[in-house]
Structure 1
């Protein structure tokens, strides 16, 4: 059971807060199990979905979240909860307002970047490409539902550096290609990125590319002096 709640309409017609339950298996699998256990029940999958209470949800895992956005959304909610600040909460309200202002500026910059990216992709010319690079979450190979202590500590982590290449093909149709570099090196530093970037640019796909628009997030390995010097010089 989750600590979150959602609004559910009760039998008396009123809405009330009800605890959210996260399912360990998809609803489709729940439906199949129900059909096997209660074969006399004639119910379709779509009807089953409609009858499922809204407080039963599939568990989700969110990774690589922007810390400014994650904290900013919480602060916006906290600010609305302080309706009439008193002597004890007035200082807290002032601090939260400053953090919310930072969050709003961050959102504005994000919107500007998104618009710039969309315009760039839409107006790509022949001989140009957009190259996006980012690290994915580290993972372990050979993991299963049951792990012994030896498996947990002996299986090495693998880093995953991903690239997305966007070029304009025939009839102005955008073509997308993806490249992933896996390594047991977990440093995630600029040297790591530059080594694989250099290897990528030697591929046949870049043979006729004269101009590369390089995009990444604002991670430290992508905005270091070492990275900028190697890319531009």
Structure 2
């Protein structure tokens, strides 16, 4: 193996060969570099005397050793170094860098010094995604100072992703971005934090109620602040009482959270079946559920576990009949399990999704009016594309789908499977071999806890009204219902 060596390295190797009587000289070289009184002592004396040239000479020798040996054989020869030292020296030796004088430490771009331009850019982005408010704070002396703070309108993670998406070449880590955010920029705890008058008015009322003796000027300032706050509340109540607020168009949004597991990998997809018809009944749920099961996403799955809350459109005799009769006959190769949540338990995936939808809806409404039902669905789809571009993934990986539900067919009768004491049971399953419905008072998947019951089916005419949302209204207020499986 031919190696380009510096003069110092060549001289050391030649002297090692002479001392070893024309052998390769590796034994003497190992002793010089690795033994306590040899190379280690030389290295310590070099560090103590701050002889930069000698330090670089020793580093160059070590780099040549790394080029001669791999990590394990070098350790067996007696050379002691860490993995990071070995790989960095190996990289330098591959590049044939053996400079003895102008050694510069290789610094990662993420650890490099942040330039003022990057700091100003961070300030600009956090300023664009925040609003300014003034908070009065009382000192121990009794005087009141007005402190200006800013509340974020988006999360820091969202702002950081937006910054990286707009400036992909910038070298800035998420942790460094959080450190650069000024401490006066805080996350709002509630919606009233976005309003200066609401925040200041409530704090002044608490201060007056505490009964602390204050100066006359401060009392006059507090009275003016309370008067302004009361006028602000009256104006807000008038706006809510107007037709602009209450005549918003209502829609139905039936949401399914599809959780699949393939080869140990868990994925979540969110399906929203939106309808201009205000149909909060089991037929609406079953129709959307049938369309979802008929899709290609779950065609290869044999076991389907349905979980939902105990709403009337989920926990009904009609819904049980449609699941274990209509849907089961249509998908004979699948096994269905029907379970219900106790209130406020296990529904994080569902209600967390509605929180995201509410946030998107307010963000869209702040920029423009949503006048039609089709425009609402398109706005949500555009929001998904925006999130995908920020996180640099596809819209399919985001996993949000918005589908229009066109309505129900009222010509068919209402079929129901009458279950005695339906509300006392939380789990249902039909045994294909026995062809009997089994139930359990607990939410469990252990079939040993289920017991068989006798049921009867009933059929009545569907006389329910087909209510639709008014088309003359100019804005939307979404109604949320959800289930997951």
What is the TM-score with the length of structure 2 in the denominator? 0.20
Please state which structure has a larger fraction of its residues in strand. 1
Query: What TM-score comes out, normalization by structure 1 length?
Result: 0.39
Q: Which has the larger radius of gyration?
A: 2
